[in-house]
């Protein structure tokens, strides 16, 4: 019997630097991860099924775009902090503000070690803050976090959508009661049939004693059906 295959996680990597995107992609693939790379925060949101509502008065407003919604599951987002337009911090905030995406772990990368920046990202909900260049050992630490998140999401789905097994269990529990009821009816009918047989024999014996013929046929009633 072969060994169970290691679960493959899907990581969305965001970085405006082509060199850094290729580096992080190679490291994630060595960690047996499926990788999708984009070069901006806006493209990341579009891939996730969200895009900025330009017509809204609120520049931070987002709305779900069903035609762009990705059916593939994303288990982790790893993004550079310093990017033109939308920074990694801005992307983090928009992900955590989305009810559909807030459970996806987000990791921030940066080549600058700024304690205030690191604290702000962690307070906003980032799982980790890595200094570039990111090492393979750093990414290995993320696998346990992705597994915990995956199991947590599965439990939430089970709570919101009870499995069909529960319905089968309920049906199986009810079925014996129906069988017991049928058996009970059969048991109650048998004594009545025996009693009619005894009464019939008694009536025949009485008729013979009184000289009344026993071969008189009973009147028949057509069209009557007895349902039990």
| Distance from C-alpha of 129 to C-alpha of 56, rounded to nearest angstrom | 32
Q: What is the pTM of this model?
A: 0.61
The CATH homologous superfamily to which domain 10-160 belongs is: Response regulator (3.40.50.2300)
| Distance from C-alpha of 201 to C-alpha of 207, rounded to nearest angstrom | 10
Enter the tokens of residue 173. Answer: 């529990």
* pLDDT tens digits, 191-222: 545 555 555 566 656 556 555 555 555 555 45
* pLDDT tens digits, 132-147: 999 998 888 888 778 8
Confidence check: pLDDT of 131 > 50: yes
Q: Give the pLDDT confidence score for residue 173 in this predicted structure.
A: 52
* pLDDT tens digits, 85-122: 999 999 999 999 999 999 999 999 999 999 999 999 99
| Domain limits, the chain | 10-160, 168-202
Q: Give the pLDDT confidence score for residue 144 in this predicted structure.
A: 76
């Amino acid at each position: 019997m072969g060994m169970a295959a290691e679960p493959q996680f899907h990581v969305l990597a965001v970085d405006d630097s082509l060199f850094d995107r290729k580096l992080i992609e190679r490291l994630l693939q060595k960690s047996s991860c499926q990788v999708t790379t984009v070069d901006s925060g806006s493209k990341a949101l579009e891939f996730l099924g969200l895009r900025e509502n330009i017509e809204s008065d609120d520049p931070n407003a987002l709305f779900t775009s069903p035609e762009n919604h990705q059916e593939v599951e994303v288990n982790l987002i790893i993004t550079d902090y310093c990017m033109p337009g939308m920074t990694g911090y801005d992307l983090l905030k928009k992900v955590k503000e989305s009810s559909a995406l807030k459970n996806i772990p987000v990791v921030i990368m940066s080549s600058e070690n700024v304690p205030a920046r690191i604290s702000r990202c962690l307070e906003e909900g980032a799982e980790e803050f890595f200094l570039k260049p990111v090492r393979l050992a750093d990414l290995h630490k993320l696998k346990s976090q992705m597994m915990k998140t995956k199991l947590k999401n599965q439990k939430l789905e089970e709570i919101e959508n009870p499995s069909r097994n529960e319905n089968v269990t309920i049906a199986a529990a009810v079925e014996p009661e129906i069988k017991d009821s049928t058996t009970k009816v059969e048991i109650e009918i048998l004594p009545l049939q025996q009693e009619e047989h005894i009464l019939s024999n008694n009536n025949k014996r009485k008729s013979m004693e009184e000289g009344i013929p026993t071969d008189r046929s009973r009147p028949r009633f057509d069209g009557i059906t007895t349902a039990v």
